[in-house]
Amino acid sequence: MPSVQIKGVPDEVHAVLRRRAAASHQSLQEYLLARLIAEATRPTVDEVLARVDGRSGGSLDPAEAADAIRLDRDRR
């Protein structure tokens, strides 16, 4: 399994991360690995937009879509 090493972490940042890891009852490595996994599993805005661009489907322009939403809301 690959590993990551980060050099030059400011002392105050390291201290905060160690405190947060301890508060989570984790080692610093466990805490940081969980944070990296969470970051990597959340898509960026660019990734979401690229996924949307790749989909085929609807042909409504934005004004028509807004009108359809308003009509649906007014029915409730």
CA distance to 3, 47, 74, per residue, from 40 (Å): 15, 12, 40
- Residue whose token pair is 């160690």: 18
Read off the pTM: 0.64
Digit-coded pLDDT (tens) for 49-76: 888 877 776 677 888 889 889 999 999 8
pLDDT in tens, 1-56: 999 999 999 999 999 999 999 999 999 999 999 999 999 999 999 888 888 877 77
Give just the sign of the alpha carbon dihedral 30, 36, 39, 43: negative
Element (H, E) at 67: helix 62-75
